[in-house]
Chains A and B, each alone.
Chain A
Amino acid sequence: AQTVTQSQPEMSVQEAETVTLSCTYDTSESDYYLFWYKQPPSRQMILVIRQEAYKQQNATENRFSVNFQKAAKSFSLKISDSQLGDAAMYFCAYRSPNFGNEKLTFGTGTRLTIIP
C-alpha cells in the first residue's frame, strides 16, 4: 500500500517570501500521479498542482512549482511571492495509475501561515 508523509505540521512565511513544503511517499509502482491540494478555512479542497511520475520536468502553475525527485520519492511544493490568500492547510496526495485504484492517498497536511 502507498503511504504519503508530510513531516511539517506547521509552517510560516513572511508575505512576499518563498516557502517550501515537504512531502515524501512510499510506493512500489513505477508510474503514478502526485497532487498538492489546498484547504483554506472555507474547507473546500482546491487542486494546486499535479505531476505525472513519467514526466521529468517539474510542474509549474504561476507562483506554485514542485521539486519532484522520483528516486528519492520526494515531492515538495514551492510557493513564491507568498500572499495572504495562500494561508491554508496543504495536502500532498498520491494516486495509482491502475484501474480500480483511483483513490487519493493523502498526507496529514501542513498548516501554512502567512505573516503580514
Chain B
Amino acid sequence: EAGVTQSPTHLIKTRGQQVTLRCSPISGHTSVYWYQQALGLGLQFLLWYDEGEERNRGNFPPRFSGRQFPNYSSELNVNALELEDSALYLCASSFGQGAGSNQPQHFGDGTRLSIL
C-alpha cells in the first residue's frame, strides 16, 4: 500500500514568489494535515482538511492557504514568500473524524522549500 506522497521533494524560490505544494494521502484516508518544520522551531501545525473542507488552521498568516480535492489530495499554497518560510513542509493523512480521534497521522517525506 502506498504511503503519503508529496511533491516536489525540493523547491528553490525567491522572496515575493508564490509556491504550490502537493500531497496525496493514503488510500482510504480523508483527512490531510499540513505542518511546517522550520529550523529551530520544531513542527508547527498549519492546516487540516477533512472531506474537502478546511477544519482548522494554525497561527499562520492568510498567505498560507490550501484546498482539498474530491479525491482527498491536497495543495498548500504560499503567496508572497518570505525568507522565514524556508522550511520542510510535511503532509500527513489519517482516517476522518467519523473514524474516531485516536487515528494516528501518517506522514509523507516532505517538501524542502528554500527561499533565497
State which of B16-24, B63-71, B72-80, B103-111 sits at the interface with chain A: B103-111
Q: Name the B residues within 8 Å of A37 (CB-CB).
A: 107
Q: Name the A residues within 8 Å of B31 (CB-CB).
A: 102
Residue in B56, B94, B102 whose beta carbon sits within 8 Å of that of A52 in the complex: B102
* Contact between chains at A106 and B43 (CB < 8 Å): yes
- CB-based A-B contact count at 8 angstroms: 60
Chain A 70-99 interface mask (CB, 8 Å, partner B; 1/0): 000000000000000000000100011111
* Contact between chains at B55 and A50 (CB < 8 Å): no
Does B81 sit at the interface, judged by CB under 8 A? no
Question: Which residue of chain B has its CB nearest to the CB of A108?
Answer: B42
**B interface secondary structure, majority:** strand
* Contact between chains at A103 and B102 (CB < 8 Å): no
Residue in A46, A103, A106 whose beta carbon sits within 8 Å of that of B56 in the complex: A103
> B88: shortest Cβ distance to chain A, in Å?
6
* Contact between chains at A44 and B104 (CB < 8 Å): no
* Contact between chains at B56 and A104 (CB < 8 Å): no
Please report the C-alpha to C-alpha distance between residue A73 and residue B48 in the assembled complex, in whole angstroms. 26
* Contact between chains at A100 and B55 (CB < 8 Å): yes
> B41: shortest Cβ distance to chain A, in Å?
8
Residue in B45, B55, B109 whose beta carbon sits within 8 Å of that of A104 in the complex: B45
> B63: shortest Cβ distance to chain A, in Å?
20
* Contact between chains at B45 and A100 (CB < 8 Å): no
Question: Which residue of chain B has its CB nearest to the CB of A6?
Answer: B42
Q: Name the B residues within 8 Å of A19 (CB-CB).
A: none
Does A16 sit at the interface, judged by CB under 8 A? no
Question: Which residue of chain A has its CB nearest to the CB of B42?
Answer: A108
Instruction: Give residues of chain B (1-43) contacting chain A, Cβ–Cβ below 8 Å.
Output: 31, 33, 35, 42-43
- Could you list 13 examples of A-B contacts with CB < 8 Å? A44-B109, A46-B107, A47-B104, A52-B102, A101-B56, A102-B31, A102-B33, A103-B45, A103-B48, A103-B56, A104-B92, A104-B105, A106-B43
